[in-house]
Amino acid sequence: MEKPEKIRCDACPVMCYIADGKLGACDRYANDGGRIIRCDPLTILDRRIEKGDEITPFLAADWDGRTASGNDVVVSAIGSGTTYPDYKPAPFIVSRDIDGVDFVTVVTEAIFSYCGVKVKIDTDRHLGSESAIVRSEGEAIGHVMTSEYGSQMLSLGGVDHLTGGSKAEGRKTCDALLRLCNKEAVELSIDGVSTVIVQAGKAPIVDGQAEERMRVGCGSATIGMFASQWKGLVDEVVVVDDHITGVVSEHQAGKVIDWPDTGIRILGRRSTPGRYFKVAEPGLGWGGTNIDDPLSILGPWREAKGARPGLTILMVSTTGEHAAFYQLNDQLEPVSRPMPAALQPSVDLIAQNCEPALCTVLFMGGAGGSLRSGVTENPIHLTRSVHEEKTRVTVGGAPVYVWPGGGITVMVDVTELPDGAFGYVPTPALVAPLEFTVARDQYEALGGHKAAIRDLEEVLVDGGEYGSDVRVIGGRG
- Please count the residues of the chain: 477
- Percent above pLDDT 90 for the chain: 67
**Paired residues of 325 in beta bridges:** 314, 337
**What ranges make up the beta strands (E) of 338-445?**
355-356, 359-366, 392-395, 398-399, 401-402, 409-413, 423-425, 429-439
Considering only residues 58 and 323, tell me which one the structure prediction assigns the higher pLDDT: 323
Cβ pair 300, 308 in contact under 8 A? no
SS3 (DSSP) at 385: helix
Report which secondary-structure segment, H or E, holds 329.
none
Of the listed ranges 78-87, 200-209, 345-354, 463-472, the least confidently predicted one is 463-472
How confident is the model over 372-395, as a mean pLDDT?
A: 93
Task: Tell me the per-residue pLDDT of 73-101, one tens digit each, with 9 for 90 and over.
Answer: 778 899 888 877 777 899 889 998 888 88
The contacts of residue 232 (CB under 8 Å, 6+ apart) are none
Task: Tell me the per-residue pLDDT of 154-208, one tens digit each, with 9 for 90 and over.
Answer: 999 999 999 999 999 999 999 999 999 999 999 999 998 889 999 999 999 999 9
**pTM, 2 dp:** 0.88
Task: Tell me the per-residue pLDDT of 110-126, one tens digit each, with 9 for 90 and over.
Answer: 999 899 999 999 998 88
Q: So where are the chain's domains? A: 40-211+357-477, 219-353
Cα separation of 99 and 344, whole Å? 57
The 3-state secondary structure of 135-168 reads EECCEEEEEECCCECCEEEEEEECHHHHCCCCHH
Task: Tell me the per-residue pLDDT of 16-35, one tens digit each, with 9 for 90 and over.
Answer: 888 988 888 888 888 888 88
User: Tell me, what amino acid is at 368?
Assistant: G
Cα separation of 406 and 389, whole Å? 14
